[in-house]
Structure 1
Amino acid sequence: MEVNEYSVPIENFKKKVNGKPVAVVGIGVSNVPLIKFLVGMGSKVTAYDRRTKEQLGDTYSELSALGVSFILGDSYLDKIDDDIKVIFKTPGIRFDVPALSKAVQNGAELTSEMELFFELCPADIIAVTGSDGKTTTTSLIYEMLKRGGYNCYLGGNIGSPLIGEVEKIKHNDKVVVELSSFQLQTMKMSPKIAVVTNITPNHLDWHTDFDEYISAKKTIFLNQGSDGKVVLNYDNDITREFNNETANGIYFSRKNRLNNGYCLNDDMIISFYNDGHIEREILSVEDIYIPGMHNVENYMAAIAAVDGLVSDDIIRKTAKEFVGVPHRIEFVRELNGVKYYNDSIASSPARTTAGLNSFDKKVVLIAGGYDKKIPFEEFGSVVNNKVKSLVLCGFTADKIEDAVKSAQNYNENNIPIYKCSLFEDAVKKAKEIAEAGDVVILSPACASFDLFKNFEERGNTFKNIVNSF
């Protein structure tokens, strides 16, 4: 590779790791490209994973052919060599597990694929996090920039891992990434533009408490320079207070009129000057193809991020043409007058609530799944207001049923509840009870890990079942 001012960080990194032992903990989607990149930098890579050689299958064969060494099995974390001074961990493993804490105490640097990408990337990075809406907002920003003529890269928690692309990225390109709290918790750099869509309780099975989850999210902007931008949701109590910790904040709001920011005025997204006067009308809600007021908020967040980079005409063109991201209130089919929607991404009560609010009628809801220790009390009241019939499946079925029946607005005559042990049976039950004119939506309010590898597999399974009717 030709060395220029933009490749200097990569060349410096190569000098740092060339010929040196490096550990990669977790051989997952993001770390396989990382391992290949490190091998290309001349590192002596040892990959650590709980799975066996047989379980890794072709991945083992491919990486072994590159000269990668392996430490596998249940006790893999206890075998990190004291000579290894750089450890890349997968986002799903906490930074403070005893084996990693011990390695850090012994002088090892603990980092990750995304942290390395931030260190090496020559282009401006726009990053999005939040409890809900971050994938759609990230995708919108990417689509607007691409339509605006930029050479763009999309990655992070969606798309392909970007570390394998970093040597191709130029200074004038734009990189758009979605970041989870797992990825952010140990980040030491912040993007040029940061977006926080909202914060509600999530992943409390992994974080020690809600405060730790909030702190992880804040990392997205805490290390910005004075030329940064932080887009914050004014309507969310937590993200509104984030503005007290940055000089770069700008708000968006669907519910409030702001002196400075992006708001909804009747059915028009507008921007304000500092004195509270309308600067310009940007986008009519009627021009937004994807349904739901939560998507209006996603558009406001995206507009705030790209304002000054693309024209309003590009924003309007995107709104009319962007059909959404799979598994997010995705229309599947209409059968016998019943419309079926896949909202498998909804892995929290707040996300399902947003999905339910997208419809002007009560729906047949399929919900339940893996327990992330998120409370369902408020969700129970929402279900009573927005759901015609409730079909439950998964580990949380009883918890959701209890929340619905304990809500003050519960009436057993208004909302029948069905529980199914098999996911396929739940979808079939929804079909059985739905009538012409109804909406059936898979919007679980829970993660998928009790029955599926991820929410994509859950959503695709739902679509396959529905399309087989």
Structure 2
Amino acid sequence: MSQKILVAGSGKSGIAASRLILKTGDEVILYDSNDALNKDELSEQFKEEGTFSVLLGELKKEDIKDIDLCVISPGIPLDAPFVSVLRDGDIPIWSEIQLAYHHAKGKLFAITGTNGKTTTTALTGEIMKAFYAEVFVVGNIGIPYTEEALKTTTDSVTVAEISSFQLETITDFKPEVSAILNITPDHLNRHKTMDCYIKIKESITKNQGDQEVCVLNYDDPVLREFGNSIKAKAVFFSSRVVLDEGYCLDGDMIIRNHNGERYEIVSVKELKLLGRHNHENVMAAIAIAVEALVPIEVIRNAVCEFKAVEHRIEFVAEKSGVKYYNDSKGTNPDAAIQAVKAMPGSTILIAGGYDKNSEYDEWIRSFDGKVRYMVLLGQTREKIAECAARQGFTNVMYAEDMQEAVRVCASYANIGDYVLLSPACASWGMFKCYEERGDIFKECVRNL
């Protein structure tokens, strides 16, 4: 018997979820609280795909009387007014990844954490593709899981980047291998407290048992302790400690210590990724791949060939002896710290954007003489400038747009300097998304 499913959110995730539901024979009501949207334009995308309708504006009790399930897009907070209407009506609420998992086949490897998710997911995907015939790389990386779920088979391998927003409404979501790369403050405007944010990240393991694996960062004290409390087998990695059991850095060599044996995997000097944080991402990807039974030589070749993902410490160009790097995906202070650390020399930094209630003191302190000037954009520029002044950093300038910011950097940069876009803030307000912000930065650099 078919179900009537309310899909909340008309963006990329909502459209993909709606298509999946229609293909399985269920009915979709696409809901968006924005009553200024065009119903006809939304309906036009689905005119031959099944029983479909659009509902806009305020959601009322009578609107949900025949609804069996709601699939909510990750961008919608669970304190949105319409969510209380659904809960009062005892309507189950699933995330988009829960819907995809319900219909997908094959093995699932899921990666979360505050920073490094996209790089680790992309690298894990490349390793899997070097060994398995049928690999899907999905999730927060840009391809909705729901878009690919019905293409999977029992032989498929799916690698998914999972955000905290997506984890809020999972039910039986259970990866063969999960990974939590790190947990630092982020999205507190939505999750309110750090404790809540940590619990949501850790929930990626909630359905795993002793037949599944969770890869964890030993250097993160929260995750180190968490590894002792989970049902899944904990596999640790560390860039700071040589572990008796797990993956770690020993000098420049990434090694695996296992059952009293030492296995050398790859030297970080052979990698095309900059920075200690990326060495951690590589170790996490290696750990996942080993659990997926990929041979070490295949893993080694894949990690040596892998280049930085777009918008994550991405080399853009060298202009007049100055190298420009795009780290638009550095949307929180901890990610921006890693990017600054990865720069090999004197740096001029472009930062600022939408305020996620982050604190910037530790980030400013990480400049440690390396950052000569900071050019600030967006809503947070005064807040960041005030924080910098408290920390004794006063080489701060404002710009009204990215073009001005890049030109200011070019005028102050010396031969051998690095110009880094690593905003420590979300892109909203000035840009649609971090990808647009990064693309505009790259265009401005190339036009110098």
Query: TM > 0.5 between the two?
Result: yes
8 A contact 1:342–1:442 mirrored in 2: yes
The match for 2:7 among 20, 24, 31 is 24
- Structure 2 distance, partners of 1:386, 1:435, is 13
The match for 2:118 among 114, 120, 135 is 135
Residues 336 and 31 (structure 1), Cα distance of their counterparts in 2 relative to 1, 3 Å cut: same
**120-129 vs 375-384, greater mean Cα deviation:** 375-384
- Structure 2 distance, partners of 1:237, 1:273, is 22
**What is the aligned partner in structure 1 of residue 18 from structure 2?**
35
8 A contact 1:114–1:156 mirrored in 2: yes
**What is the aligned partner in structure 2 of residue 324 from structure 1?**
308
The match for 1:223 among 190, 198, 207 is 207
What's the CA shift for 1:400? 1.3
Instruction: Please tell me whether residue 311 in structure 1 is matched to residue 292 in structure 2.
Output: no
The match for 2:99 among 112, 116, 125 is 116
- Structure 1 distance, partners of 2:387, 2:30, is 44
- Structure 1 distance, partners of 2:48, 2:101, is 28
Instruction: Please tell me whether residue 447 in structure 1 is matched to residue 431 in structure 2.
Output: no
- Structure 1 distance, partners of 2:124, 2:114, is 17
Letter in 2 for 1:110: I
**What is the aligned partner in structure 2 of residue 436 from structure 1?**
415
Q: Secondary structure at the match of 2:17?
A: helix
- Structure 2 distance, partners of 1:22, 1:411, is 53
**What is the aligned partner in structure 2 of residue 461 from structure 1?**
440
> If the length of structure 1 is used for normalisation, what is the TM-score?
0.90
Letter in 2 for 1:270: I
What's the CA shift for 1:52? 4.7
- The count of residues paired between Structure 1 and Structure 2 equals 444
8 A contact 1:133–1:298 mirrored in 2: yes
8 A contact 2:333–2:424 mirrored in 1: yes
8 A contact 1:95–1:186 mirrored in 2: no
Q: Secondary structure at the match of 1:301?
A: helix
What's the CA shift for 1:334? 0.7
**What is the aligned partner in structure 1 of residue 68 from structure 2?**
85
Structure 2 runs not aligned, ≥5 long: none
Letter in 2 for 1:295: N
Alignment of 1:254-333 (within 5 A): 254-274=239-259, 277-308=260-291, 309-333=293-317
- Structure 2 distance, partners of 1:147, 1:64, is 39
- Structure 1 distance, partners of 2:216, 2:209, is 17
Q: Secondary structure at the match of 2:367?
A: helix
Residues 57 and 242 (structure 1), Cα distance of their counterparts in 2 relative to 1, 3 Å cut: farther
Letter in 2 for 1:112: S
**44-53 vs 368-377, greater mean Cα deviation:** 44-53
- Structure 2 distance, partners of 1:99, 1:155, is 28
**What is the aligned partner in structure 2 of residue 158 from structure 1?**
141
- Structure 1 distance, partners of 2:150, 2:318, is 46
- Structure 2 distance, partners of 1:80, 1:199, is 39
CA RMSD of aligned residues (A): 1.8
8 A contact 1:141–1:176 mirrored in 2: yes
- Structure 1 distance, partners of 2:368, 2:262, is 41
The match for 1:368 among 328, 352, 356 is 352
Q: Secondary structure at the match of 1:198?
A: coil
8 A contact 2:95–2:167 mirrored in 1: no
What are the Cα deviations for residues 388-432 of structure 1, in whole angstroms up to 9, with x where unaligned?
Answer: 11111111111111222212xx265xxx21112223211211111
- Structure 2 distance, partners of 1:60, 1:467, is 40
Q: Secondary structure at the match of 1:170?
A: coil
Residues 297 and 79 (structure 1), Cα distance of their counterparts in 2 relative to 1, 3 Å cut: farther
What's the CA shift for 1:325? 0.7
What's the CA shift for 1:327? 0.3
What's the CA shift for 1:79? 6.7
Residues 78 and 418 (structure 1), Cα distance of their counterparts in 2 relative to 1, 3 Å cut: farther
**What is the aligned partner in structure 1 of residue 158 from structure 2?**
175
- Structure 2 distance, partners of 1:217, 1:452, is 27
**What is the aligned partner in structure 1 of residue 190 from structure 2?**
206
What's the CA shift for 1:78? 6.9
Residues 44 and 330 (structure 1), Cα distance of their counterparts in 2 relative to 1, 3 Å cut: same
8 A contact 1:92–1:182 mirrored in 2: yes
- Structure 1 distance, partners of 2:161, 2:374, is 32
What's the CA shift for 1:160? 1.9
8 A contact 2:124–2:285 mirrored in 1: yes
Instruction: Please tell me whether residue 191 in structure 1 is matched to residue 183 in structure 2.
Output: no
**What is the aligned partner in structure 1 of residue 238 from structure 2?**
253
8 A contact 1:287–1:316 mirrored in 2: no
Residues 48 and 79 (structure 1), Cα distance of their counterparts in 2 relative to 1, 3 Å cut: farther
8 A contact 2:20–2:150 mirrored in 1: no
What are the Cα deviations for residues 284-330 of structure 1, in whole angstroms up to 9, with x where unaligned?
Answer: 11111121111111001111111142122112211221112100111
What's the CA shift for 1:57? 7.5
Letter in 2 for 1:22: I
- Structure 2 distance, partners of 1:90, 1:271, is 39
Letter in 2 for 1:198: N
8 A contact 1:268–1:283 mirrored in 2: yes
What are the Cα deviations for residues 137-169 of structure 1, in whole angstroms up to 9, with x where unaligned?
Answer: 011111001111341111011132232432331
Residues 468 and 57 (structure 1), Cα distance of their counterparts in 2 relative to 1, 3 Å cut: farther
**What is the aligned partner in structure 2 of residue 417 from structure 1?**
396
8 A contact 1:85–1:107 mirrored in 2: no
- Structure 1 distance, partners of 2:283, 2:304, is 15
What are the Cα deviations for residues 51-88 of structure 1, in whole angstroms up to 9, with x where unaligned?
Answer: 45755774442135544211123x25777422212111
- Structure 1 distance, partners of 2:354, 2:136, is 32
The match for 1:241 among 225, 235, 244 is 225
8 A contact 2:37–2:56 mirrored in 1: no
8 A contact 1:283–1:315 mirrored in 2: no
Residues 68 and 135 (structure 1), Cα distance of their counterparts in 2 relative to 1, 3 Å cut: same
What are the Cα deviations for residues 104-142 of structure 1, in whole angstroms up to 9, with x where unaligned?
Answer: 332312112210111222211000000000110011111
Instruction: Please tell me whether residue 107 in structure 1 is matched to residue 90 in structure 2.
Output: yes
